[in-house]
């Protein structure tokens, strides 16, 4: 981050210990802000990253040189410019991406106006919000740990801001922040367990949904993000034998519209009003299975192809309405925010779609003008080949798949960036890509050959072995394949990826991304250890997913049930929460009440001494030092009191002598009390 | 301030006994959320809404962790003050209109207390402009804070209500206590400025004699330094010249008598007269002239020295016209 030029601009580093307090606190806060912003860097626009880095370096320089802060107008100007840039890159100021961009900039720019304590507080509150936004992108264990550090740092800076005297150590403030957080942890646990989980309060903005899963749109590169996401999409338990891997296609949105860059679904209107009929014709025996769907925050039900909308087969989910679209994919009427479990029947042998050409198929022939001219020329050449003069779509598809198989195509998750004519580049030049490239190119070529074709997105395959009887499908199993229309038969599935990487389909081994440097080194040195580590890591991650990320209303209610509440509902939850919090408050109040009786040990000791002496008839007052009391003892009790007086003088020497200890040796009090008791009885 | 608020305030303050030692316990510490605390609560509400809407379980964790820490900070803030003992050292007399220093010793029985602000509670001062004095109190130790207040007029003034406040650790809550010290500050009349010339001194025999000292000229008599002579009496100019200590021979001065008389001030306003008298007392003392003070109903025989000056000023401070 620091180039030599930037270093030359930086003032001499005086050493952490010799920094003035103000500078040290500011640098600490900047470090915390930097740490919090870091996870965002991957998805912030480049200019935002650059601006934030620049501003933070500048602020650090100001802190070190003790230079004056820039004028307010300059900061306002930069904020306006940043807003304009945000609108330019994100096309809005609202929404997730634009919001995070603005939040990062505001936070960083606010450091330039760090004058009064009030400014500092604004930074802390923005900071907490920034921590939250990190969870919009990822809720993994690593992110949680990193953000815990952020919260600790922000709280520490907050404590430092409230230590106005001297130069308190950061360690001291950090310890207190950690202690406050630890003390707050029980409250957090109770609230987390019992705060009633409710669905989203209002419709989410467009970009909120597809954190994971299929989004219903396809643009080169979008499935690549899913391909490295190992989180679980759903689990399956089959009633009977498990169908072969190459039959396990779970259908998601079907993409029929292509504008040259992006593939989209047909109008939802056409889909849901069933202007088109699915015309599903199943053959053979059904496959019954139970699906446990993880909350995806989307409407999609990725059911096994093909699941008919029939009484026995269709999914029945309480509280949700399910709907089969004309393109055979299933959705729910609202986003899935809870883990769902339901039973479905599917037929892996089926035909569907119109047998004879209908108007609606026209849309599956459209290609945007001006895009991919070389691929179109390639297709025209194939069509003009006398061998395929009157060939059926099936034969043409075979020829295209043959080209893929023999054309030196490589299946890779890292194909690099593609330009505007992505299909031209892929099909004729680079020939490197994964499922979405193959499916998109296949569909473009088929359409160019005058065969209606479309992309189907979904999941393909499962983990190789079941876990506890469940077959696990992960986000990395996301897949895109194609369908072309064959007169008399309807839509026919064609998976061009299988043509180049049959392994991907038959054994459903998804491509793992390149391991990191450390993993590589470790793998070379001790593969067993690497496997072991990976396994434990996965186990920890699984717990995390299950207990923290997967904790929902269902788990809340089952927790109550285990605690003995019969048929619990959310009112029980609220009552329990209120009860526990009230008890906590009461305990806190009692503790404070008890605490007021706590005293300095020395004062407590003297109090006890005075009480014993008063019983002996000596007028011991709070302002009397032990030696004064000793003199009084000698005067009033004479020789018998000599031992007691000696004890008191010893106490005086301990406290006020050269040792100046706060407390006498253990056993002093016992001797003193015994002596006093002897004098009383004697 | 409207009358109801004033009465409420008076009643509230009357709950606090007058004492020079003020031990802070649950009974006399008040605590409310600060504006920052309310903004924090608002931030948490927004974060909770975001967590609900985006169904972020980690968002819930974060929000609840911050809520718990904020709640605990209330106890920590309260605890910062609890167990402290405030003690006011006896304040020294000052002239009216000058700042009277108040030395406050804060003693902590147990733990270390950070960020304790002390101030003189004054009405009508906006909260942001209160001149706080911040101290840290070490564990089982003490720290001293120096405050000041300006007595507006002569006389005995009760030390105004003092306030000790803390926002440590997070600034979400502020805990404070109000303390009415029992001590009083004696304010002498503000000396007249510029001071009028001293009235003529009379020799003990009765003959009028102009004070030479006020002219700044050479003094009439000097003698060798004797043990017990005050530093003020040493004639430093001669010491520099002669190389040995030389004291002013005050026999001549003591033979003069200067009566500072209320009637002799020739001013209409009684307070102005007292101010002039105060200035004269200071001038006479500076000049080393024995001076007596005559007020209606009060008479101090002529004398000289620190105790006499104090007694004179005290008489001026406390004098009340007979009714």
Which pLDDT score is estimated for A55?
Answer: 92
Do the domain assignments include residue B195?
Answer: no
Residue B236 lies in a domain: no
For residue A149, the model assigns a pLDDT of: 95
What CATH number does residue B83 fall under? 2.60.40.10
Burial call B221-246: b when 16+ CB within 10 Å, e when fewer: ebeeeeeebeeebbbeebeeeeeeeb
In Å, the largest CA–CA distance within chain A is: 135
Residues of chain B with C-beta less than 8 angstroms from the C-beta of A549? 57-58
Number of domains making up chain B: 2
Both B163 and B206 in one domain: the answer is no
Closest by CA position to B47, among listed A357, A555, A142, A131: A131
| pLDDT score at A34 | 93
DSSP string over B163-221: EEEE-TTTSSEEEEEEEB-S-EEEEEPPPPSSPPPPPPEEETTS-EE--SGGGT---S-
Size of interface A-B (CB pairs under 8 A): 169
Residue A413 φ/ψ, nearest 5 degrees = -85, -10
Across the interface, whether the CB atoms of A162 and B82 are under 8 A apart is answered no
A595 touches chain B (CB under 8 A): yes
Q: Quickly tell me which residue has 């180049």 as its tokens.
A: A500
**Cα A515 to Cα A272: distance, rounded to the nearest angstrom:** 44
Cβ of residue A176 closer than 8 Å to a chain B Cβ: yes
Render A127-146 in DSSP notation, one character per residue.
Answer: HHHHHHHHHHH---HHHHHH
Asked if A184 lies within 8 A of B170 by C-beta distance, the reply is: no
Domain assignment present for residue B219? The answer is no
Max Cα–Cα distance, chain B, nearest Å: 103
pLDDT at A550: 76
Establish how many alpha carbons lie within 13 A of residue A308's alpha carbon, considering only the half-sphere containing its beta carbon: 19
Does any CB of chain B come closer than 8 Å to the CB of residue A592? yes
- From the CA of A535, how many Å to the nearest CA of chain B? 24
Q: Are A311 and A252 in contact (CB under 8 A)?
A: no
Same domain, B60 and B175: yes
Decide: B149 and B121 in contact? Cβ < 8 Å. no
Please give the residue range of the domain that contains residue B38. Answer: 3-186
| Angle, alpha carbons A195-A196-A201 (nearest 5°) | 115
Cβ atoms within 10 Å, residue A403: 17
Q: β-strands B94-95, B184-188: how paired?
A: parallel
Does any domain span residue B196?
A: no
- Count of CB atoms situated within 10 Å of the CB of A76: 12
Q: Which of A160, A600, A623 to mutate to test the interface with B (most CBs of B within 10 A)?
A: A600
**Helix ranges, chain B (H):** 3-14, 35-54, 57-81, 236-242, 251-254, 270-287, 306-318
Asked whether residue B9 falls in the same domain as residue B104, the answer is yes
Residues B260 and B164 placed together within one structural domain of the fold: no
Contacting residues for A456 by C-beta, under 8 A, at least 6 apart: A249, A251, A252, A254, A255, A327, A439, A480, A481, A482, A483, A493
Strand order in the sheet with B142-149: B21-23, B84-88, B100-108, B142-149
For residues B11 and B137, state if they share a domain: yes
Shared domain for B29 and B161, answered yes or no, is yes
A202–B contact, CB cutoff 8 A: yes
- How far B71 CA lies from chain A's nearest CA (Å)? 7
CB count within 10 Å of CB A557 equals 19
| B281 and B164 within one domain | no
Give the closest of A125, A151, A192 to B40, CB-based. Answer: A125
B153 and B207 inside one domain: no
pLDDT > 70 in chain B, percent: 88
DSSP-derived secondary structure for A232-261: EEEEEEESSSPPPGGG-EEEEEEE-EE-SS
B314 and B209 within one domain: yes
Instruction: Flag whether residue A195 sits within 8 Å of chain B, measured between CB atoms.
Output: yes
Q: What is the pTM of this model?
A: 0.67
The angle at the Cα of A393, spanning A392 to A399, to the nearest 5 degrees, equals 95
pLDDT at position A1: 42
Of B55, B109, B134, Cβ closest to residue A200: B55
Q: Which residues of A touch B60 (CB under 8 A)?
A: 191-192, 195
Residues paired with residue B259 on neighbouring β-strands, in sequence order: B292
Across the interface, which of A143, A192, A295 has its CB nearest the CB of B64?
A192
Residues B73, A176: C-beta atoms closer than 8 Å = no
Whether B165 and B292 share a structural domain? no
Candidate from B56, B71, B79 with C-beta closest to A187: B71
Mutation target to probe the A interface, by most A beta carbons within 10 A, among B23, B46, B64 is B64
Q: Are A131 and B62 inside 8 Å of each other by CB?
A: yes
State the DSSP string of A146-205: HHHHHHHHHHHHHHHHT--SS---HHHHHHHHHHHHHHHHHHHHHHHHHSPP---SSPPP
Which residues are registered as beta bridge partners of A470?
A467
A596 → closest Cβ in B55, B82, B135: B82
Q: What is the pLDDT of residue B9?
A: 81
Q: Is residue B232 part of a domain?
A: no
Report the run of H or E that residue A34 belongs to, with start and end: helix A21-37
Q: Which residues of chain B are under the pLDDT cut of 50?
A: 205-219, 253-254
Q: Is B247 within the bounds of a domain?
A: no
Burial B196-215 (b: 16+ CB within 10 A, else e): eebbebeeeeeeeeebbbbe
B37 and B173 belong to one structural domain: yes
Q: What's the rounded Cα separation, in Å, for the pair A574 and B88?
A: 51
Kindly state whether residue B237 falls inside one of the protein's structural domains. no
Q: In this structure, are B95 and B128 located in the same domain?
A: yes
Mutate to test the interface with B, among A187, A200, A337, A340 (most CBs of B within 10 A): A187
Domain contains B323: no
- What is the mean pLDDT, run by run of 10 residues, along chain A of 682 residues? 50 75 88 92 87 92 86 88 85 78 90 75 90 88 92 92 84 91 92 83 49 64 61 86 87 87 73 60 87 81 85 78 83 77 88 81 84 90 84 88 86 76 86 85 91 91 78 85 90 86 53 57 74 77 78 82 81 87 87 68 80 86 81 87 87 76 77 87 75
Show which of residues 398-427 on chain A sit within 8 Å of chain B, judged by CB atoms: none
Report the distance separating Cα A167 and Cα B106, nearest Å: 20
């Amino acid at each position: 981050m620091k180039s030599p030029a930037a270093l030359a601009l930086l003032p001499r580093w005086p050493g952490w210990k010799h920094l003035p307090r103000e500078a040290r606190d500011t640098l600490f806060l900047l470090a915390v802000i930097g740490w919090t912003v870091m996870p965002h860097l991957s998805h912030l626009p480049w200019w935002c990253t650059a601006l934030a880095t620049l501003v933070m370096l500048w602020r650090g320089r100001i802190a070190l040189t003790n230079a004056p802060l820039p004028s307010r107008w300059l900061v306002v100007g930069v904020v306006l410019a940043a807003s304009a840039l945000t609108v330019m890159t994100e096309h809005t100021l609202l929404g997730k991406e634009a919001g995070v961009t603005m939040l990062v900039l505001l936070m960083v720019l606010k450091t330039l106006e760090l004058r009064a304590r009030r400014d500092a507080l604004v930074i802390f509150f923005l900071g907490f919000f920034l921590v939250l936004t990190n969870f919009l992108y990822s809720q993994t264990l690593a992110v949680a740990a990193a953000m815990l550090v952020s919260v600790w740092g922000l709280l520490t800076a907050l404590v430092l801001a409230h230590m106005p005297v001297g130069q308190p150590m950061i360690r001291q403030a950090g310890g207190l922040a950690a202690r406050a957080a630890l003390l707050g942890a029980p409250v957090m646990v109770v609230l987390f367990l019992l705060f009633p989980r409710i669905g989203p309060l209002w419709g989410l903005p467009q970009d909120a949904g597809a954190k994971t899963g299929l989004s219903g749109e396809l643009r080169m590169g979008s499935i690549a993000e899913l391909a490295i996401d190992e989180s679980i999409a759903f689990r399956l338990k089959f009633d009977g034998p498990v169908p072969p891997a190459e039959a396990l296609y779970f259908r998601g949105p079907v993409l029929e519209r292509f504008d040259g860059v992006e593939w989209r679904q047909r109008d939802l209107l056409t889909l849901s009003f069933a202007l088109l009929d699915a015309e599903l014709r199943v053959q053979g025996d059904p496959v019954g299975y139970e699906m446990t769907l993880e909350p995806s925050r989307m409407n999609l039900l990725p059911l096994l192809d093909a699941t008919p909308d029939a009484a026995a087969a269709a999914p029945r989910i309480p509280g949700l309405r399910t709907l089969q679209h004309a393109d055979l994919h299933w959705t729910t009427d609202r986003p899935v925010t809870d883990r769902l479990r339901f039973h479905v029947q599917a037929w892996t042998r089926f035909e569907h779609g119109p047998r004879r050409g209908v108007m609606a198929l026209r849309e599956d022939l459209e290609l945007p003008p001006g895009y991919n001219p070389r691929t179109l020329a390639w297709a025209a050449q194939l069509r003009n080949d006398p061998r395929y003069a009157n060939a059926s779509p099936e034969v043409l598809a075979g020829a295209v798949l043959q080209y893929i198989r023999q054309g030196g195509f490589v299946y890779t998750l890292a194909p690099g960036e593609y330009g505007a004519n992505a299909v031209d580049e892929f099909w004729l030049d680079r020939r490197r890509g994964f499922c979405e490239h193959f499916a998109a190119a296949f569909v473009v070529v088929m359409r160019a050959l005058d065969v209606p074709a479309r992309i189907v997105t979904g999941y393909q395959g499962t983990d190789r072995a079941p876990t506890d009887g469940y077959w696990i499908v992960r986000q990395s199993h996301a897949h895109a394949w194609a369908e072309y229309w064959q007169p008399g038969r309807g839509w026919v599935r064609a998976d061009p990826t299988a043509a180049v990487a049959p392994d991907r389909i038959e054994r459903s081994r998804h491509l793992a991304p390149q391991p990191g440097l450390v993993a590589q080194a470790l793998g070379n040195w001790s593969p067993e250890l690497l496997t072991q580590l990976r396994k434990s890591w996965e186990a920890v991650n699984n717990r995390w997913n299950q207990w923290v990320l997967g904790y929902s209303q269902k788990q809340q209610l089952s927790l109550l049930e285990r605690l003995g509440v019969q048929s619990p509902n959310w009112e029980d939850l609220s009552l329990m929460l209120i009860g526990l919090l009230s008890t906590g408050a009461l305990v806190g109040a009692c503790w404070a009440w008890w605490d007021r009786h706590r005293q300095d040990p020395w004062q407590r000791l003297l109090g006890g001494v005075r009480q014993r002496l008063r019983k002996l008839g000596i007028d011991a007052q709070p302002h009397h030092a032990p030696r004064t009391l000793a003199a009084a003892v000698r005067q009033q009790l004479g020789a018998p009191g000599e031992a007691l007086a000696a004890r008191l003088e010893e106490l005086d020497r301990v406290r006020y002598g050269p040792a100046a200890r706060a407390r006498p040796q253990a056993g002093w009090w016992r001797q003193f009390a015994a002596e006093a008791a002897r004098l009383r009885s004697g | 301030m409207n009358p109801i608020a004033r009465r409420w305030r008076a009643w509230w303050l009357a709950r606090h006994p007058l004492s020079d030692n003020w031990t802070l316990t649950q009974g006399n510490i008040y605590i409310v959320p600060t504006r920052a605390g309310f903004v924090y609560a608002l931030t948490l509400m927004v974060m909770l809404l975001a967590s609900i809407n985006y169904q972020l379980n980690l968002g819930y964790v974060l929000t609840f962790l911050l809520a718990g820490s904020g709640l605990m900070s209330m106890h920590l803030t309260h605890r910062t003050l609890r167990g402290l003992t405030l003690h006011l050292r006896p304040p020294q007399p000052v002239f009216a209109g000058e700042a009277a220093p108040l030395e406050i010793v804060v003693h902590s029985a147990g733990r270390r207390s950070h960020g304790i602000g002390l101030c003189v509670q004054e009405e009508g001062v906006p909260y942001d402009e209160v001149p706080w004095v911040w101290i840290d109190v070490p564990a089982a130790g003490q720290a001293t804070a120096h405050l000041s207040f300006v007595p507006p007029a002569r006389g005995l003034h009760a030390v105004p209500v003092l306030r000790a406040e803390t926002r440590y650790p997070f600034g979400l809550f502020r805990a404070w206590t109000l303390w009415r010290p029992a001590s009083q500050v004696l304010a002498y009349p503000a000396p007249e400025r510029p001071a009028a010339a001293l009235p003529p001194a009379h020799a003990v025999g009765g003959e009028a004699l102009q004070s030479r000292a006020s002219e700044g000229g050479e003094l009439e008599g000097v003698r060798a330094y004797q043990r017990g002579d005050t530093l003020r009496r040493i004639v430093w100019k001669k010491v520099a010249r002669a190389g040995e200590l030389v004291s002013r021979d005050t026999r001549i001065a003591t033979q003069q008598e200067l009566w500072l008389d209320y009637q002799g001030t020739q001013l209409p306003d009684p307070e102005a007269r007292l101010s002039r008298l105060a200035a004269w007392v200071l001038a006479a003392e500076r000049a080393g002239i024995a001076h007596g003070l005559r007020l209606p109903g009060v008479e101090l025989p002529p004398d000289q020295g620190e105790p006499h000056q104090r007694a004179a000023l005290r008489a001026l401070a406390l004098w009340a016209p007979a009714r």
